[in-house]
Amino acid sequence: MKIIRLLLAAAAVFAFTGLGEFAAAAKKEDKPSLPIPPSVKDLSQDNTYLNEEQELSDLQPSELTKELLSTSKAKITNPRLIRMLNETSVNKSLFSIGMRATVFLGEWPLSYSSDETSANWEYQKVNTNFFDNRAGKSIYQMHYVQEAHKTVRGGLSVKLPRSEEVKQMVLKEAIQRTNLPLAYATSIGNGTKQNDIYNVAPKTAGYLSAFAPAIHEKGRVAYGEVFLVLTGSKRALVIKNMTTKKVSAWIPISNHLSFSFRSVRQP
């Protein structure tokens, strides 16, 4: 009986430790992989404009799509192509013995491979607050207040075939690599405030500038002509005339601003 109690106690300790490690790992995964400087603030709770959350659903391939993807020598991650394959129905038939058919499905961007992910914390200036304290005799405490609605946009640096599909693949990769709320367009609403204090000394003028940060993603997109080949009861995807194109994109970080303050004697 004593041995059983010891085993139960050990199991409880192991379970508690395991859960703790799992929670710690999950918490760690929620942290951005890029170090965020202290000048960058999260305004998701303060923004007077409600930005829509960018939801990139992880499209699950059907059994037929899984079978087809496994036959392809090229990696395929394009969600739109996977969706089209999900909607495809190819029935195996007793009468298909000896049948051969090739169906051209079009030229598609197949996958995106990232080469570099970096951040520009001052991608675009969105606001400047100014206070002239040159005639003052005491320190003036300055706060950020957004003076006008501002929308910041990103996008691909070059024109590519089926660019919307490329943008979605690049965005998904960037979100996975940074764990940041990214979107190709984000807005800061008029009247948005942030409570940090910036001291403007007497006989000086203070400038508080706010910048929208953005992620710069660089990589390569694989293109290819996609064929569905039926040989008897076998079904396969064949990719021909593959090409690779370099691509880069700027993707703003939603609901985040980077602040820069300076106090000068001559404005």
Rounded alpha-carbon distances, angstroms, from residue 25 to 17, 36, 133, 231, 241? 12, 20, 49, 47, 43
pLDDT tens column, 76-99? 999 999 999 999 876 666 446 667
Tokens at 209, concatenated: 């500038």
pLDDT score, position 31: 62
- Other C-beta atoms closer than 10 Å to the C-beta of 166 total 21
- What backbone phi and psi angles, to 5 degrees, belong to 202? -55, 150
If you ran DSSP here, which 8-state letter would residue 232 be given? T
Rounded alpha-carbon distances, angstroms, from residue 119 to 60, 65, 107, 256? 31, 36, 32, 13
Residues 234 and 102: beta-carbon distance below 8 Å = no
pLDDT score, position 13: 37
For residues 33 and 179, give the distance between their C-alpha atoms in angstroms, rounded to a whole number.
6
Rounded alpha-carbon distances, angstroms, from residue 70 to 65, 73, 77, 154, 236? 8, 8, 12, 35, 8
- What backbone phi and psi angles, to 5 degrees, belong to 121? -75, -10
Query: Judging by beta carbons within 10 Å of its beta carbon (0-12, 13-18, 19+), is residue 61 exposed, middle or buried?
Result: middle
Rounded alpha-carbon distances, angstroms, from residue 54 to 80, 85, 127, 190? 17, 24, 24, 22
pLDDT score, position 122: 98
Tokens at 33, concatenated: 């992989």
Domain ranges of the chain: 1-30, 39-264
If you ran DSSP here, which 8-state letter would residue 183 be given? -
pLDDT score, position 97: 64
pLDDT score, position 6: 39
CA 156 vs. chain centroid, Å, equals 14
- Which residues is 107 bridged to in the sheet? 225
Q: Which residues of the chain have pLDDT under 70?
A: 1-32, 57, 90-98, 267
pLDDT tens column, 40-53? 999 999 999 999 88
pLDDT score, position 21: 40
Residue at token pair 């090229």: 74
For residues 186 and 155, give the distance between their C-alpha atoms in angstroms, rounded to a whole number.
12
pLDDT score, position 59: 84
Mean pLDDT computed over every residue of the chain: 87
